[in-house]
A = this chain, B = another copy of it.
Amino acid sequence: MAKRDELAKIATRLRIHSLRMTTTAGSGHPTTCLSAADIAACLFFSEMRFNPRKPDDPANDEFVLSKGHAAPLLWAVYAEAGLIPMKDLSDLRKITSDLEGHPTPRMPWVKAATGSLGQGLSVGVGIALAQRLDKSPARTFVLMGDGECAEGAVWEAASFAAHARLRRLCAIVDVNRLGQSDPTMHEHDLAAYARKFRAFGWDAVTVNGHKIEAILEAFKKIGKRGKPTVILARTVKGKGVSFIEDRNGWHGKPLKSDELARALEETGCLPDVDARKLIRHPKPFRRKTKAAAVFAFPRTAYKEKTATRLAYGNALLALGKVNRSVVAVDGDVKNSTYADKFFEAFPERSFQGYIAEQNMIGMGMGLAAKGYLPFMATFAAFLTRAHDQVRMAAYSFSNIKICGSHVGVSIGEDGPSQMGLEDLALFRSVPGCVVLYPSDAVSAEACVEAMAAHPGLAYLRTTRPATPVLYPAREAFPIGGCKVLKKGPRDAVTVIAAGITVHEALKAGLELEKEGLAVRIIDAYSVAPLDAAAIAREVAETGGRAVVVEDHYAGGGLGEAVAGALAGKAVLKHLCVRELPRSGKPEELLERYGVSAAHIARAVRELAAG
């Protein structure tokens, strides 16, 4: 049988599986599976090379389904390839099945969760960067929808990929003309897409996405011009089932059983072909000896006041020396986050992400999926730009590390647009995400070590101004711990602080001591997980009275974390930034917005007075 015929038969099987699966599940997106079925057949059973026994074989070509709602098609491919049992297909979207509505790495062949559109290309860029670092000949394929090309993140990734000359990266856009609620902006104007990608430095190839030979021919052009390649495939949504083909109103809608019966009359029965025999295995390839999982590094000795952001830079550099898996990405602020120290020492492991935070985090997910340990930094305020990518990194179980600098009103004169005042809420809302917020350079370095060693998403919050050194050089700062910085038998109130407010709390403590009022002071450097037990114990010893003070907005920060942990066990006063701040000197702003030593002292006095 000619290969063309075999692939066409596989495509038909993929269509039938997709239709049946979604009808059985009673939900899902069959029409978007049908438009991409021929592409998927050609890709997995002719163009890609992969070892069907090892999803993590470094020789494998990698695949990202950016249009995640075509998950049934992907599961059908896996079943046809023998990667999962055929019978699993009937469990689509069941709570007991890893064949979820949109792909997640609960399925080991999936390298990143998708379903929030426009993110897959960045992940693909990260994977391609990892393959290049590995000196691997493997390639990366990203299957995108046309609708998602409206997402800016796509163009951040496209710019970066061209700039980095990732010629082994191939995007395929399934241009099926229809979005969810309307036709797309460009409908079937493939030239419009081609112009955009070419302007962004890509080679663009247009093709009829339902002609097997044409698709195979297009694949031959990948990378031929030394650029990343996009294959723009003209397709028909619902292809193969006449009554849903190219019709608006069929997005995210399975066929009813009678409709399915009619559809299967058109497709015919499952054609007889063994797709597994068509799988093309890669030439064996081994990464050079993988870097050992070393996370401990020689610490800098600090005596003078030092900004925690500077300590982050020092720590990242030191970590990079002992662990070759560590890579850094920055959003054109590396001279402020101090990631530049790593960039200078390890240019080959450093990626200037320019001002494109979404792509920065997406690339990190790709790098992490291939075993690298990415540290990404920008101003904490601008991480809000990548909130959706952070969310998807959680669903991807990504082992990525993020540093947000310039937090709170303590940055001063640059004003509110540059102040990270919601980052704790952002990262605390991600289940399992570690959130560390050191107050001095020593703890900052220790936190970098802890987050590197922690397998999973971790966030470090660093401060712009220099702060005094509080801790001895070898002090340990485990994730989930806290430090009691001041303690006495007569403490009337516990002050719980983190970062810059630890120093305000210490000042307040000295002031109050003069008045004969003793306070306990806790450095809650591990904001998540919070050391709830220790904090509860200390607060209980001070009569259940506590002040929480943070350079962050009220919602979702340290104060609410403590309130949640101590509910019913303490009377709390919460000092935080409660209005939209403005430009000014750091100390003026700490005072004006209620998180200075003077405010802490006042709150303590009020609580102590009962």
Which residues does A use to contact B, with CB under 8 Å?
A: 25-28, 68, 93-95, 97, 100-102, 104, 106, 113-118, 147-148, 150-156, 159, 163, 179-182, 184-185, 195-196, 198-200, 249, 330, 332-336, 340, 352, 354-356, 358-359, 381-382, 384-385, 387-388, 390-392, 394-395, 412-418, 421-422, 425-426, 428-432, 528, 544, 553-557, 559-561, 563-564, 566-568, 570-572, 574, 577-580, 582-585, 588-589, 592
Contacts and interface: CB of A to CB of B under 8 A. Distances in A.
A355 B145 CA distance: 11
Nearest to A71: B415
B387 A384 contact: yes
B564 A560 contact: yes
26 contacts: A27-B413, A93-B583, A100-B415, A101-B413, A101-B414, A115-B416, A147-B355, A150-B156, A151-B152, A152-B153, A155-B155, A180-B332, A182-B334, A185-B354, A196-B199, A198-B199, A381-B391, A392-B417, A421-B429, A425-B428, A555-B560, A560-B560, A560-B564, A564-B572, A568-B570, A568-B571
Contacts of A195: 198-199
A401 to B, nearest CB: 18
A157 B496 CA distance: 44
Q: Which of A249, A394, A568 has the most CB of B within 10 A?
A: A568
Given A159-B185, A432-B580, 12 more contacts: A101-B414, A102-B414, A102-B416, A116-B381, A151-B156, A182-B334, A182-B352, A249-B335, A395-B417, A425-B555, A426-B426, A560-B560
B431 A425 contact: no
B113 A148 contact: no
A184 B198 CA distance: 19
B568 A95 contact: no
Given A150-B354, A429-B553, A181 B340 contact: yes
B425 A556 contact: yes
Given A385-B387, A583-B95, A355 B151 contact: yes
A335 B97 CA distance: 29
B528 A555 contact: yes
Q: Which of A159, A388, A555 has the most CB of B within 10 A?
A: A555
A147 B354 contact: yes
A532 B216 CA distance: 64
Given A553-B430, A584-B93, A152 B150 contact: no
Nearest first, the 7 A-B pairs at minimum CB distance are A152-B152, A556-B556, A115-B417, A95-B584, A568-B571, A428-B555, A199-B199
